[in-house]
Chains A and B, each alone.
Chain A
Amino acid sequence: MSRRIAIVEDEPAIRANYADALKRLGYEVATYADRKSALAALSTRLPDLALIDIGLADDIDGGFALCRELRALSAGLPIIFLSARDSDFDIVAGLRLGADDYVTKDVSLPHLTARIAALFRRGDLLSAPPSVEDVIERGPLRVDVKRLTAYWTGQRVDLTLTEFWMVHTLAKYPGHVKDRNALMRDANIVVDDSTITSHIKRIRRKFLSVDPAFDCIATVYGMGYRWNAKEA
């Protein structure tokens, strides 16, 4: 059975393009132009993944409201925000509402489909036993590449896809400085420097909430970031 993806997007050309690309990859796609029709259809039959634009025509924050409503219907439904807005405020607001990822419309279709595939994989494999070769261990850090999950001293750190990929890139070669371009490439995003900075900040904060003594991600001014190895 093919997976069903709901696209809620007010711009017809983008909606059609994304639908075409996803259909080509074998997904079943349902498209909606506004919040009302989307909610009406999706509440009777939940999709496997929802791709939601924040601004839906005149409904400026319609995507946020829809996300909240869908999240209320299902805690496990993968939701990706796709928006022209790229301010930290919107990103933080979107992720707080329970979205799994937030990408701007700059994202290329291959990047977007990679994210969708990754989210499906994470959902599929979360319950399966981990295979050793897909896990990177760096002291207290355990990164499960297949499931796209990270653990710190045994506790799961709830990272978005972007954040997970950044942690993965950094932790893969401890001590190596990863510049912003490398982080962007590996995280499948195109953003400016300050967005990388705020992503790193958010990652640090998430680790700090698990372990207040966390200090493994070091800023190398003018260069990038580095994972400082820490003995367990």
Chain B
Amino acid sequence: MTKAPRRLALGIRAQLLLVLTVFLAIPWLGYEYVRELERFLRDAQERTLAGTAQAVATALHDRPRLFEVTPAPGQALSTERAPDAVPSSVPRVAPPPPAAPSRSPDIEQIIQGLSRTSARIWVVNRDLDVLARAGSLKGVRTAASADETLPRAWQWLDRELLHPLYSLVLAQPTDDFDEEQGGRILLPAREIDGALSGILTIERRRTPDGKAIIVSAAHPIWVGDQVRGAVIAEETTNAVLAERNRAFERLFSIVLAALLIGSLALTAFASRLSSRIRRLRDEAEAAIDEQGRVRSLVAPSGAGDEIGDLSRSFSSVITRLAQYANHQQNMASRLSHELRTPVAVVRSSLDNLRASSLPDDARVYIDRAQHGLNRLTHILTRMTEATRLEQSLGQEYVGERERFDLAVVVAGCVDGYRVAYPARSIELALTGGEVPVEGAPELVAQMLDKLVANAIEFASGDAPIRVTLTRDGERVNIAVDNEGPPLPAAMAGQLFDSMVSIRSDQGDEPHLGLGLYIVRLIAEFHGGSVAARDRDDGRGVVVVVTLPLSSAAA
């Protein structure tokens, strides 16, 4: 069986994995979802900050006394060196505010109570003097803590492999930012402007070093209907970022795990499928050889699925094919067997007829009938020859192999053929020396009979039939060649099959196409093979039987 040309050879496994890439859309969907979540969190953060600013402002409304402290000159927020410039390694809680810069201890006291972790609150007057300040921007715990309920291996994987990967993709919130520029904290000018003109203003801005985003909300402080100052509540987006990252990591990890497990399961499934299919293919290919003969049967699978069905139908097809081939092979034998009885009727009737008193001209017809009957009998005998040989190869000869000299057998046979076919000269070329072969010499003689009879039948011209014996390593070749028409290419593989004949003209002898089949049977019985090819000069055909030499060679 020939395999289909390999165009794009994708196995079932590869195809399934290809289909699996569709699921890569899931992380993208997750990413979209997480971004939505982030927007939502930001809105919430802004509202919270606004609320904080409003709450602080509410506490400071209509208390003009609080704003009566005159700030020292040059202490404006916009130019002043930030008093709380904190070293980069930050403690987790907001540092206690340094005592010195507070202009208004009363306000300080009020906002102290309102301050939240991770938020910073300023209170400024209309001159942008910082009246009070509480809290710090740096205090959010950003490190995502590992979930202790997960298995240890997953934790390790998460820590060692996934986290670095996420860090590449996602911006990690960090406290290691620097909001100073030129040694000063810049005033969130627009918010303050907005607030001082009496409007709650929410803005977000990037720190000068770009490492963090600060959201600030400014609320005016009213005394009567005058804006006397503003409350600014600030916070980094770190908390939101951390939340977003955690959500994303979790989602991504779960999807990754699901994909991984899914791929493994699918790969295993596909491997099993393709191995079953491959096994079936191998069995199907092994079942029939190059000549189309059924060599072995496919054992039907017990599986209940489609592949099991396929295996079972393969098995039944092969079995039916084997039955058909068997039927075909035995047809000659059975046909001859069936014909024997009517032939016996005719023969015994003719014999009886001959014994009775008949006119002389009737005897002519009896003789003709007898002649035809003899030919018929001969045909019947030939038809059973192959079957009988198969039977005896299976039973009689199995235990009866002997070691014999092939050269002697071939030489003897060729002598016989010279007597039997006086019209055709037969050349013999031996290797010289003993050619030990294990087997049945009478079968080899029978094989030679067929080979030489075949060669003589196809021989044309006066060229002799050549029988050549050559040793080739551990094997011996018996070649019989004759001058004559070349082999028909279409029949090359079937020449040695039962009931195959390439003769175009029908002569006197019956041609059942069993001769070369018998040659093959005998060659195979001896562990050898037979092949026919056109002669190198193209003017004839040579049939070569290759037999193994006896391993117990002297």
Contact = CB atoms under 8 A, between A and B. Distances in A.
A227 interface: no
A221 B441 contact: yes
Nearest to B344: A105
B416 A88 contact: no
Interface stretch (B87-95, B168-176, B335-343): B335-343
A84 B381 CA distance: 11
B442 interface: yes
A125 B415 CA distance: 43
Contacts of B449: 193, 222
A222 B415 contact: yes
Interface string B397-439: 0000000000011101111110100000000000000000000
B395 interface: yes
Nearest to B355: A24
Interface residues of B, number: 41
A191 interface: yes
Contacts of A108: 347, 351
A86 interface: yes
A197 interface: yes
Nearest to A17: B348
B413 A222 contact: yes
A87 B391 contact: yes
A109 B412 contact: no
A88 B392 contact: yes
A46 interface: no
B446 A21 contact: no
Nearest to A86: B384
Interface residues of A, number: 33
B340 A104 contact: yes
Nearest to A106: B377
A110 B352 CA distance: 10
Interface string A14-31: 100110110010000000
B344 A194 contact: no
A221 B417 contact: no
Interface string A192-228: 1111011000000000000000000001111100000
Contacts of B391: 87-89
A192 B351 contact: no
A17 B346 CA distance: 9
Given A192-B381, A193-B446, A85 B337 contact: yes
Contact of B414 (A192, A195, A222): A222
Contacts of A21: 348, 351-352, 355
Interface in B378-394: 380-382, 384-385, 387-389, 391-392
A140 to B, nearest CB: 24
Interface in B223-262: none
Given A190-B377, A221-B410, 10 more contacts: A14-B348, A17-B351, A84-B344, A105-B343, A106-B347, A109-B347, A109-B352, A194-B446, A220-B416, A222-B416
17 contacts: A11-B345, A17-B345, A17-B349, A20-B352, A88-B391, A108-B347, A109-B348, A190-B377, A192-B382, A193-B446, A194-B392, A194-B446, A197-B446, A221-B410, A221-B442, A222-B412, A222-B445
